Amino acid sequence: MKTARNAVKSEKLIKVLLRYDEQKKTIQSITIRGDFFLYPEDALEKLESSLVGVRLERSVLNKRVQEILQGAEPFGFTAESMTEAILGCLSKKIDRV
């Protein structure tokens, strides 16, 4: 299992802490923080928990993020910019936890 962080500024800043299975390329856990807005606010916890097990492949991840965010309204990011923020962790230096 690997852990990596990424920070991306789209309209607002998205910071991601990602734990993932390097072999299966799936999300083990994810924490998303930043100065964005999301309505309702508890949609973020649902996003984080619903991404567990999802493959870190662009089209798969983007589709899943879009599905989870249906019914919620992000302000300061899009499903696409969130996907890129998450995938950007894969090219970052690995955290020694």
Partner 1 sequence: MALDEVLLQNLDDIPILRLYGWNPPTVSIGYFQKMEDEVDVEMCKHLGIDVIRRLTGGGSVLHDSELTYSFLTRRYPQSIIESYKVICDAVIIALSKLGFNAKFSPLNDIVINGKKISGNAQTRKNGALLQHGTILLDVDFEKMFSVLKVTKEKIRDKMISDSKDRVIGLNKTYVETLSSLKNGFREKFAANLVSDTLTEDEKIRTKKLIKEKYSTTRWNLRL
Q: Which residues bind partner 1 (CB under 8 A)?
A: 7, 11-13, 15, 32-41, 44, 73, 75-76
Least distance from partner 1 to the Cβ atom of residue 41, Å:
5
Least distance from partner 1 to the Cβ atom of residue 18, Å:
15
For residue 56, which of 95, 9, 6 has the smallest C-alpha distance?
6
Q: Across 22-93, where does the E strand assignment appear?
A: 26-34, 37-39, 73-75
Q: Which is nearer to partner 1, 22 or 49 (CB)?
A: 49
Q: Which is nearer to partner 1, 59 or 70 (CB)?
A: 70
For residue 45, which of 60, 32, 55, 54 has the smallest C-alpha distance?
32
Q: Which is nearer to partner 1, 22 or 75 (CB)?
A: 75
Length of the chain, in residues? 97
